[in-house]
Copies of this chain bind each other. A is one copy, B any other.
């Protein structure tokens, strides 16, 4: 499939979509194609396309004019081939999915596979590299929770959207003298809620890393009321939980939440706050709008830089890495660094101190 001498690589996007994916695809492909003369195979819908052999050559027109577009031109899926292997699932022709991926990789005579995704995607990339494939990863997620990079692309776009939403809730909170809760994405890591909470001037910020004490929240709200502030804004990560929930077993917690009849933490919390304080409280779940649309300037720059850096590694044959932002430079780490991990907010992170220094309650 490749030209004589020049390399051929496959590229895929996996996991939830996020702003900047197309900018990164453009970065990798332009640099690889124009600078190094490589051929590009676009793989549809994440690892599923590799399993099913759903691939096609990408020409310059395919990766031109996509810098500002949301989503991913390649499509995506949450297919996890190694989990399937563990469950002994096979594909249509009876093969193990990992074997199918390897077969496609061989058939297309790829020199490398470039994977754009979050923790799951890069973990799969790492496992495939251990199976003998050449793999390069790019760190994409609005959650900013990938080990080895200072920042992931997608995070800043989500931060902008979430902050704008908090700005809007301020109007209603103030006009109606209410407590307004906004639930932001982040199952295990609270980066988005923490940063958007600080950017939006949240009065209370709750993240998964710090289980909250409803009594501490109530005290903070009452202190605000006493000092004449008639409204409050609460930014809460979807994975935030109370100290009571934190003490529960997973099953027990699930049961507890089902009984509460509120799938989202924002609604449970609204009820708890009203019960504790008597203050009128409303919840908003920002949902999917957090990760769609035009990428922010900042994410376009980061995605483009990471993409071209990946092309440079490709050219050098320096495989098995994930490109990364490291301070004021673009570097790379072994794929084993992010594999199987989640970068949560350290308890001593400066942004927690920042939040508390301006009077924000972190739930304790």
Contact = CB atoms under 8 A, between A and B. Distances in A.
Interface of A: 13, 16-17, 19, 21, 26-27, 30-31, 34-35, 45, 67-72, 75-77, 150, 156, 159-165, 167-172, 174-177, 180, 195-196, 198-201, 261, 282, 284-289, 291-293, 296-298, 300-301, 304-305, 308-309, 311-312, 326-330, 350-351, 353-354, 357-359
A190 to B, nearest CB: 14
A312 B353 CA distance: 10
Given A26-B358, A150-B327, A170-B71, A298 B300 contact: no
Contacts of A174: 71
A67 B304 contact: no
> Which secondary structure characterizes the binding site on chain A?
helix
Chain copies in the assembled complex: 4
A292 B327 contact: no
Contact of A176 (B17, B31, B171, B350): B17
22 contacts: A17-B171, A27-B354, A30-B358, A31-B358, A67-B201, A68-B201, A70-B170, A71-B171, A71-B172, A72-B175, A75-B176, A156-B298, A159-B297, A170-B292, A171-B291, A171-B292, A195-B301, A199-B297, A286-B289, A304-B358, A308-B357, A308-B358
A304 B170 CA distance: 19
Contacts of A72: 175
Contact of A160 (B70, B198, B297, B357): B297
B327 A350 contact: no
Contacts of A17: 171-172, 175-176
Contacts of A167: 68, 292-293
B171 A70 contact: yes
A139 to B, nearest CB: 14
